[in-house]
Structure 1
Amino acid sequence: MRLLFLTDNFPPEVNAPATRTFEHCLEWVRQGVSVTVITCAPNFPQGKVYPGYRNRLWQEEEMEGIRVIRVWSYIAPNAGFYRRVIDFVSFCGCAFVASLFVRTDLIVATSPQFFTAVAGYLASVCKRKPWVMEVRDLWPISIKAVGAVSGKARVLSRLEHLELFLYRSARKVIVVTHSFKKNIAERGIPPEKITVVTNGVHLEQFRARPQDAALVEKLGLSGKFVVGYLGTFGLAHKLVFILRCAPKVAANVHFLLVGDGAKRQQLEGLVAKHQLTNVTILPVVPKAEVARYLSVIDVALVNLRKSRTFRTVIPSKIFENAAMGKPILLGVQGESQAIIERYGAGRCFRPEDEVDFLRQLRKLSEDPVLYARCQANCAALAAAYDRKTLALEMLGALREVVT
């Protein structure tokens, strides 16, 4: 089978969408599928093209058997509604044109920004090939939840009409949570058309290991109970709330935030203003270095702002941290909370509730029996979300479309 995958995030970018797509495609290549990915020059989240790449109309490379075509797009930082929309639309147009030159049996286009899915739909019409929409986020509902479309109700309404049109036109819709399936089905899409393939973890890459002693010394973390966050500093993640709690934790607790995004400058400003000596903020690290940085933390922070919309999501960092044996300190309600509680792999606090956050953090940092139990339970959680198994499940769903 020949498969064309359209995505605006792909390695060397290290965010969750890029990782999911790459690891799925890699497994499909191992299963004998010919995979071509159309993406853009890597630039997320800073909005700057990575070293070694240029923002050109067409450039090709091969990554572990995957043919990767990178096309031009208007590049903007992960901030500012209209500039981001121009970014999305420009990639949609260029990806569509590039798709016309790729032979394929099936087209897959992935959100969260569904202008990529528009390119998939257009390619399907012109090439007369079936297409599948992968939904990693309920966009545009999620951008409303973070206030990115405040005062733009007409724009949001039109985007939601486009969203439903795309669901109807796709041969199959693949979503990452059961809550997503329920939401889409309740809006008129046949449930049998929707397949759930959750996020997961590459167990060969992420596994329990001793702390990296050199990194502990370099970062001055010796003797500290480290609460770690590796990911995007975005509007949805409410890390400002975490820093407001930082002065109120025990003396041995230290926060390590590694990443970049729209809120980075504000976070750094808060650290400087309040002289938060128990907070370290570092830039994005390469994917190959992520496990090394995770090794030095004691608890993994997974936090989103308070919103009913986010009760439907399952942040992928849950699985990587669990595979490393790091108990989860979760500030997300809904399906994510159910997973943590089902496996006993950490503690959950109510989003943006300072008292509850400090209470649950104290339990993990001061109760060694609880900590050890959560740490042991992380292995079972990670094993249940093995990326290889999930990739094969998705491949099976894709093959149903072309048979």
Structure 2
Amino acid sequence: MTPPASTRPLKVWLVNHYAIPESAPGITRHATLARLMDERSDVETVIVSGRGHYWNVAEARDEKADRFESVPVDVAPANGIRRVLNMLHFALRVVTKGLRTPRRKRPDVVLASSPHLFGAVAGWMVARWFRVPFALEVRDLWPMSLVELLGLKGWHPLVAVMKVMERFVYRAADVVFLVLPGSGTHVQRVAGRTVRLATVPNGVDVSTLPEPGTPASVTTGGPVSVVYAGAHGVPNALDTMLDAWTIIERRPDAPAMTLRLIGDGKEKDNLRALVDERGLTTVTFEDPVPKPQVRERMRDADILIMTWRDSPLYANGISPNKLYDYMAAARPVMIAVDTPINPVAEADGGVSVPPEDPAALAEGLLRLAATSPEERARLGRNGAAYVHEHHDLAKVADRMAQELRTAVGRG
């Protein structure tokens, strides 16, 4: 006889096509949450993922990541019909894995994250097969993101299909976890009924943070270093960043500054070409590296920078992983976004300007560069304190574990 879930480890299947181990470059949120829930709440998580993202390749996987059970899906191509087919292929593989899993090895609950909705629906199907609760983590708002960021029309077949899927998974979930702090109203409206919600924002395992140290420019007297670390895609608005940097390089009164772009994505080649075309001499591109190395490079920076598109999508707030990595590094953040929920502004942790406004971004960067090292250090400390208080992933893991146990208890 199987003992009740309250007296044994809670067994969770976490379905996320693009989940990767903590040792890999990229978004490691779920690997960290799984570890923390295991350490703190006796939750055993199996992460069901694909074998790579189009910018987090399969070779980046850690063979020691025993929480992962990858399904055989090719590395995802860039946006287009092949990307959609890749998502469908992943969903089919997840369902097949569920059907082939003996019931004695079934989880107590299935949690599906929504980097895309096909994986979420597959998670629901597996939960139904196992006859266990289904939990949904809403990361990106689909299909709103397709309409607002990629310009698809409301009548596009993919948008129409995703609208049906979105409503279905919201209504089917026993609990909906929200990454975006202001998205609850959207979820309730689309679902058309009351949905149990729990906010689980992105954040940082603060116990793993190194000492912030002193920026290299302060110790060596070198140029002010501005660093971006993250994806190089359309939503990241790095073209705006380079437009602003063009203004700075052409300003005869600008201080000595450098811009380092760390990461990868389908826009990287276009961005390199733009730098070459404009003859920008203080911009460098670097390959993606695991999180510990990213943190070391942030320690060398004077300013960390992040840009967004000008989109109504961010009316629900923002909660990107890398923003909290930035703030936790105790460096001032230069942010370009239009949102009512702006962590940098709330923390007094840097400078905020409107999105897709190169002139405003250039002025903000120049203002931060002209600020004394002591003032930049103060802004950085403010950001780090904010992350410790509001975005410690240990606290997020505790909340998630509690909600999952509650869902299982309700049956």
TM-score, normalised relative to structure 1: 0.89
* Counterpart pick for 1:355 among 356, 359, 365: 359
Tell me if structure 1 keeps the 8 A contact 2:307–2:337: yes
Matched AA of 1:349 = V
2:351 counterpart of 1:343: no
- Which structure has more relative contact order (CA 8 Å, sep 6+)? It is 2
Tell me if structure 2 keeps the 8 A contact 1:245–1:358: yes
Which whole-Å CA distance do the structure 1 matches of 2:139 and 2:76 have between them?
Answer: 21
Taking a change above 3 Å as real, the CA distance of residues 137 and 166 of structure 1, as seen in their structure-2 partners, is same
Counterpart for residue 29 of structure 1: 38
Q: How do 1:222-301 residues align onto structure 2 when only pairs under 5 Å count?
A: 223-249=222-248, 250-301=254-305
Which whole-Å CA distance do the structure 2 matches of 1:152 and 1:186 have between them?
Answer: 20
Identity of aligned residues (%): 25
Counterpart for residue 325 of structure 2: 320
Q: SS where residue 256 of structure 1 aligns? A: strand
The more displaced of 66-75 and 22-31 is 66-75
The alpha-carbon deviation at position 191 of structure 1 amounts to 4.8
Tell me if structure 1 keeps the 8 A contact 2:245–2:362: no
Tell me if structure 1 keeps the 8 A contact 2:16–2:115: no
Tell me if structure 2 keeps the 8 A contact 1:258–1:281: yes
2:169 counterpart of 1:166: yes
* Counterpart pick for 2:209 among 195, 206, 209: 206
Q: How do 1:74-93 residues align onto structure 2 when only pairs under 5 Å count?
A: 74-77=74-77, 79-93=78-92
The more displaced of 34-43 and 276-285 is 34-43
Taking a change above 3 Å as real, the CA distance of residues 182 and 393 of structure 1, as seen in their structure-2 partners, is same
Q: How many equivalent pairs are there?
A: 383
Tell me if structure 2 keeps the 8 A contact 1:5–1:35: yes
Counterpart for residue 382 of structure 2: 377
* Counterpart pick for 2:118 among 115, 120, 140: 115
Which whole-Å CA distance do the structure 2 matches of 1:320 and 1:207 have between them?
Answer: 12
Taking a change above 3 Å as real, the CA distance of residues 381 and 273 of structure 1, as seen in their structure-2 partners, is same
The alpha-carbon deviation at position 128 of structure 1 amounts to 1.1
Counterpart for residue 407 of structure 2: 401
The alpha-carbon deviation at position 251 of structure 1 amounts to 4.1
Q: Deviation above 6 Å: which 4+ runs of structure 1? A: none
The alpha-carbon deviation at position 80 of structure 1 amounts to 2.5
Which whole-Å CA distance do the structure 1 matches of 2:312 and 2:154 have between them?
Answer: 19
Gaps of 5+ in 1: 54-60
Counterpart for residue 56 of structure 1: none
TM-score, normalised relative to structure 2: 0.87
Tell me if structure 1 keeps the 8 A contact 2:331–2:381: no
Which whole-Å CA distance do the structure 2 matches of 1:33 and 1:52 have between them?
Answer: 23
Taking a change above 3 Å as real, the CA distance of residues 348 and 212 of structure 1, as seen in their structure-2 partners, is closer
Which whole-Å CA distance do the structure 1 matches of 2:321 and 2:61 have between them?
Answer: 28
* Counterpart pick for 2:15 among 6, 10, 13: 6
Matched AA of 2:17 = D
Taking a change above 3 Å as real, the CA distance of residues 150 and 14 of structure 1, as seen in their structure-2 partners, is farther
The alpha-carbon deviation at position 190 of structure 1 amounts to 4.2
Tell me if structure 1 keeps the 8 A contact 2:52–2:76: no
Q: CA RMSD in A?
A: 2.2
Taking a change above 3 Å as real, the CA distance of residues 222 and 235 of structure 1, as seen in their structure-2 partners, is farther
Counterpart for residue 251 of structure 2: none
The alpha-carbon deviation at position 72 of structure 1 amounts to 1.0
Taking a change above 3 Å as real, the CA distance of residues 151 and 83 of structure 1, as seen in their structure-2 partners, is farther
